[in-house]
Amino acid sequence: MNYGAFKSWLKGYLNRDDLDSYLDGFVNAAITLLEKQYNFNYMLKETSGNVVRSAITQPTDFKAVSRLLIYEADDENDYYTTYPVDSQYYYDKLIAGPDVQPNDTTYKDFIYFFVDKSDIKLYPQFEDGKLKYKLRYYAFSKALENDGDSHFLIDRATPLLLYGSLLQAEPFLMNDSRLEVWRAFYNEALLGLIRADVDKEFPYPLVIRRGVDV
């Protein structure tokens, strides 16, 4: 199913022929809300490059870090261990802490990183050209616009996107009586996607204390 077919299906549920100019808004709002609340495997992307001024520029669709690998520019197998920190720790404990010179051997084995508004800042400081990175990150989806567009949710979680779009549309149409119905179906479909995501990431039974499988 492509986006055009999905919108036709959505229109059937709304039982209205005068909403064509609003459908994109309903659908994209549903996707944005879902992706702000959850990190799903379908959102994962990868990029790589050089560390410049001890920072990594965030991709335009960046949401959150899944995995960050930092390694020596002349040896791809010489990785550092990376630790995420918040803004307070980064500025108060690291930047305002003891003076650390570039390439200080004290920090040879690990690097702190802090996700700022537009970049990912590293500590300690390193000279340009010394480090490279591989970033696996969660990305926000590009807005759906054209009938031929595709999306993971349309192909693999169609009911979830349908009910999410209906939850965006009904308040606009002042049809609040249907909200609880769509919300119940939405929550059920959402749970299905969460379970599928966990199964994909952990294909084998999880072993917890006393050897009990989950």
Strand order in the sheet with 75-84: 44-50, 131-139, 62-72, 75-84, 110-115, 119-123, 55-57
Distances (CA, A) of 165 to 72, 154, 156, 162, 178: 46, 12, 16, 5, 13
- Provide the pLDDT for residue 212: 40
Taking the C-alpha atoms of 137, 140, 141 and 144 in order, what is their torsion angle to the nearest 10 degrees?
Answer: -170
The neighbour count for residue 161, using CB atoms within 10 Å, is 25
pTM over 0.75: yes
- Provide the pLDDT for residue 10: 96
Lookup result for tokens 């049809």: 175
Angle CA(148)–CA(17)–CA(169) in degrees, nearest 5?
Answer: 80
Distance CA 22, CA 3 (A): 14
State the DSSP string of 167-198. Answer: HHHHHHTT-GGGHHHHHHHHHHHHHHHHHHHH
pLDDT in tens, 120-163: 999 888 889 999 999 999 999 999 999 999 999 999 999 999 99
State the DSSP string of 75-143. Answer: EEEEEEEEEE--HHIIIIIIITSS---TT-GGGSSEEEEEE-SSEEEEES---TTSEEEEEEEEEPPPP
- Provide the pLDDT for residue 100: 52
Asked if 3 and 149 touch (Cβ cutoff 8 Å), the reply is yes
Tell me whether residue 126 is exposed, middle or buried, using C-beta atoms within 10 angstroms of its C-beta: 0 to 12, 13 to 18, 19 or more: buried
- Nearest one of 94, 76, 77 to 85, comparing CA atoms: 94
For the chain, the domains span 3-40+143-202, 43-139
Per-residue three-class SS string for 59-72: CCCEEEEEEEEEEE
- Provide the pLDDT for residue 214: 37
Distance CA 135, CA 69 (A): 6
**Which residues of the chain register pLDDT less than 50?**
102, 105, 206-214
pLDDT in tens, 89-98: 888 877 776 5
- Provide the pLDDT for residue 93: 76
Q: Give the three-state DSSP class for 13.
A: helix
